[in-house]
Amino acid sequence: MFRASQIVSEETLPALFESTTSISEDDIQPDPSTYLRKYDRRLSLKYGLTTTLPPIKYKYPLAVIFLLTTKFFEAFAANGIRTVLVLYIRDDLYFSEGFATIMLHIFNFFGQFCPIFGAILADSYFGNVRTISYFCILYATGWILLILTVMPAVGVSLIFLVSVSLLFIAIGNGSIRACITSLGAQQFKLPEQATRLAEYFSLYYFVYYFGILLSKILPPLVRAKSQCFGKTDCYPAVFG
């Protein structure tokens, strides 16, 4: 009797161990791709067959198109104002050339420094999407205030209004600059879309420098060829 029960236990224990092992593996890894890999391995071990799963094709992220468009207009607007800022403050607002130069340097400083500030906020607190949204509002507010400085009889100190508007534009532009780059890169699935990611960075820098190129050509032409409010130069057309 003891020998028979021992034989039965030796025969049944492996089966019970195999069933409990398979259940625990399925419970731990319920991923269908994991199951297919296990099934493929069992077929290859039992029958000498190998199966190849079709590669997953990921679509090009649609959000990248909007981000590249945003980057183009952001680069065009921010660099376009640098082209005519000194002329606007000196010739249209009748401030001294020294004051106009100081405002240009302050504008450039905040525009180059604030990407660090925006990156810290995006990585530690708000994320890329919220950081871009918040500073885009600040960016747009700065442009609205700058357009108001062109209007006659605003009723507000021009020095205060110009300073605040340029400060808002510089902070908004600088803070969203680094966030747009990383947000676009996050839209790609790696390593499957590594080639697409490399293409994205090429397009990103092409769009960025193309916007800068146009900003050095179009704003001066618009300023010289248009007239408004009885003046020979139309800065609202440039800023608007």
Q: Where are the domains of the chain?
A: 2-47, 62-239
pLDDT in the model for residue 4: 46
Span 128-148, average pLDDT: 92
Quickly state the pLDDT bin for 7 (edges 50, 70, 90): very low
Judge whether residue 203 has pLDDT over 70. Answer: yes
Beta bridge partners of 228: 231
Quickly state the pLDDT bin for 53 (edges 50, 70, 90): low
- Among residues of the chain, what percentage have pLDDT more than 90? 40
Calpha distance 147→165 (Å, rounded):
9
Calpha distance 171→201 (Å, rounded):
24
DSSP-assigned states of every residue in 152-164: S---S-HHHHHHH
Span 187-194, average pLDDT: 88
User: What is the amino acid identity at position 2?
Assistant: F
Q: What sign does the CA torsion over 2, 8, 10, 12 have?
A: negative
Calpha distance 228→235 (Å, rounded):
8
- Please provide the average confidence, as pLDDT, over all residues in the chain: 79
Judge whether residue 76 has pLDDT over 70. Answer: yes
Question: What pLDDT digit, counting tens, does each position of 126-135 carry?
Answer: 999 999 999 9
From the list 101, 215, 80, 217, the residue with the least C-alpha distance to 143 is 80
pLDDT in the model for residue 13: 44
Calpha distance 61→190 (Å, rounded):
13
CATH of domain 62-239: 1.20.1250.20
Judge whether residue 167 has pLDDT over 90. Answer: yes
